[in-house]
Amino acid sequence: MFKDAFEHVLTKTKENIERFDTLFPHVGDGTSYKAIENRDWTNGFWSGILWLCYEYSKNPEYLEAAKTSTESFVRRLEQNIVLDHHDIGFLYSLSTKADWIVTKNENARKVTLQAADVLLKRWRSNGEYIQAWGTERNEVEGGRIIIDCLMNLPLLYWAYEQTGDQKYKYVADAQAEKTRRYLVRGDFSSYHTFHFNQLTGEPIGGSTHQGFTNGSTWSRGQAWGIYGFALLYRQTGNVYYQKLSIEMTNYFLLNMPEDQVAYWDFDAPLTKLSYRDSSASAIAVSGMLELVSTMNSNHPEQSRIKDSAYQIITSLVKNYSTAGIPTAHGLLQHGSYHVRGNLVPDGHVIWGDYFYTEALVRILKGIPGYWYERD
């Protein structure tokens, strides 16, 4: 089943190489993706899919497309098109860092280190956190951190490992602890965002941006926590992060519907029209597979979490894949971007496709993606 599912990934990706050329699939209602230039926070996911398809198949067509896509990230950095956000890790871990990991392209390594320096510019020393969005001292966004940033920290840990420069590790460690303390609640649910006084660093309170309410649990944010803390355990050796990933996994699993694919928010009222977010489940599966890969074979949670991850990916393959829908651009149906903002509440989202691809490649070939160097 999983091998057949990945053959669909390869076929659809080859079609999209021809369809999008030098543009990037982003999000889309119905069966189509909107094609955009390399200026958004989501663009790295397409590059990551191309690199994974090449690693799986060794087909030079995917390598050529991955190289072409990655070269645009080099130009993007040269032109300073990085926007006022923290998602440099999503952009460069899955493009230039992937290039370095797969081909040992020295220029790709150099550019990835430059990208890590760009992320450091979002460090706010007053409160010791990485500001998620907007310019420094922005009245609305100044002082905000978000749980998604956990997935950008691997870029900083990688830069520390490559250079030995403690500044990267210091910032990553501090952001990890801020996230642990302020974005994870006592029951191991999570806030999407948290605010600090940007002048004093004093904590103000949790809020949401894409979830149902400030006090609800946005399922994709919970999935970022599962994966992010699993990666933190690998990169720091702090066993508490592994335990935190386990507990956030437990919360996610306890709130899953019968078909094992999450609704967009765990606390939103359920109706016949309630939106799913297949991307949240794809991220959670990838995070759970990373989590079990960090466990010893005798760890009491390994088998249970692995079985749960396989149940979710099986449901994605059987019930949410676009196999059999030839007009579809994406790999998964029923991803949600921003439900409250009515921005693609039910359609294709490129990050869902990436993490679905990553999970399948890990299952089939043991390839973990591009968040860290491989042994």
21, 29, 40, 87: the active-site residue: 87
Distance from C-alpha of 256 to C-alpha of 367, rounded to nearest angstrom: 27
Per-residue pLDDT, averaged over 78-89, amounts to: 89
Q: Report the percent of the chain where pLDDT is more than 90.
A: 95
Which token pair is 243? 């335990």
pLDDT at res. 322: 97
User: DSSP letters of 193-213?
Assistant: EEEE-TTT--EEEEE-SSSSS
Phi, then psi, of 299 in degrees rounded to 5: -65, 130
Q: What is the pLDDT of residue 81?
A: 86
In the predicted structure, residue 215 carries a pLDDT above the cut 80: yes
**177 pLDDT higher than 80:** yes
Q: Report d(CA 64, CA 80) in Å as an integer.
A: 25
Supply φ then ψ for residue 222, to 5 degrees: -65, -40
Residue type at position 319: N
**Which of these, 80, 372, 47, lies nearest to 233 by C-alpha position?**
372
Give yes or no: 148 in active site.
yes
Cβ atoms of 20 and 35 within 8 Å: the answer is yes
Tell me: pLDDT of 375 over 90: no
| Overall average pLDDT of the 186-197 stretch | 98
Residue 277 annotated to the active site: no
Q: What mean pLDDT do residues 336-361 have?
A: 97
pLDDT digits (tens, 9 = 90+) for 140-176: 999 999 999 999 999 999 999 999 999 999 999 999 9
Backbone angles phi, psi at 256, to 5 degrees: -85, 145
Residue 160 identity (one-letter amino acid): Y
Task: Say yes or no to pLDDT of 83 above 80.
Answer: no
- Print burial letters for 141-150: b (CB count within 10 Å at least 16), e (below 16): bbbbbbbbbb
Measured CA to CA, the distance from residue 154 to residue 231 in angstroms comes to 7
Q: Domain boundaries in the chain?
A: 15-37+252-375, 39-121
Quick one: pLDDT band at residue 223, thresholds 50, 70, 90?
very high
Rama region for 189: left / alpha / beta (φ>0; ψ in -120 to 50; rest): beta
What are residue 263's DSSP bridge partners?
Answer: 276
CA distance 341 to 196: 24
Check if CATH label 1.50.10.10 holds for domain 15-37+252-375: yes
pLDDT confidence bin for 82, thresholds 50/70/90: confident
Give the least confident one: 80-89, 124-133, 161-170, 320-329: 80-89
- Of 273 and 96, more confident: 96
pLDDT at position 274 over 80: yes
The mean per-residue pLDDT over the stretch 43-58 comes to 98
Instruction: Catalytic residue, from 148, 173, 265, 346: name it.
Output: 148
Quick one: what percent of the chain has pLDDT higher than 70? 100
Radius of gyration of the CA atoms of the chain, in A: 19
Helix axes 278-293, 302-315, angle to 10 degrees: 150
Q: Using DSSP, state whether 153 is helix, strand or coil.
A: helix
pLDDT digits (tens, 9 = 90+) for 288-339: 999 999 999 899 999 999 999 999 999 999 999 999 899 999 999 999 999 9
> Cα(189)–Cα(201) distance, rounded to whole angstroms?
24
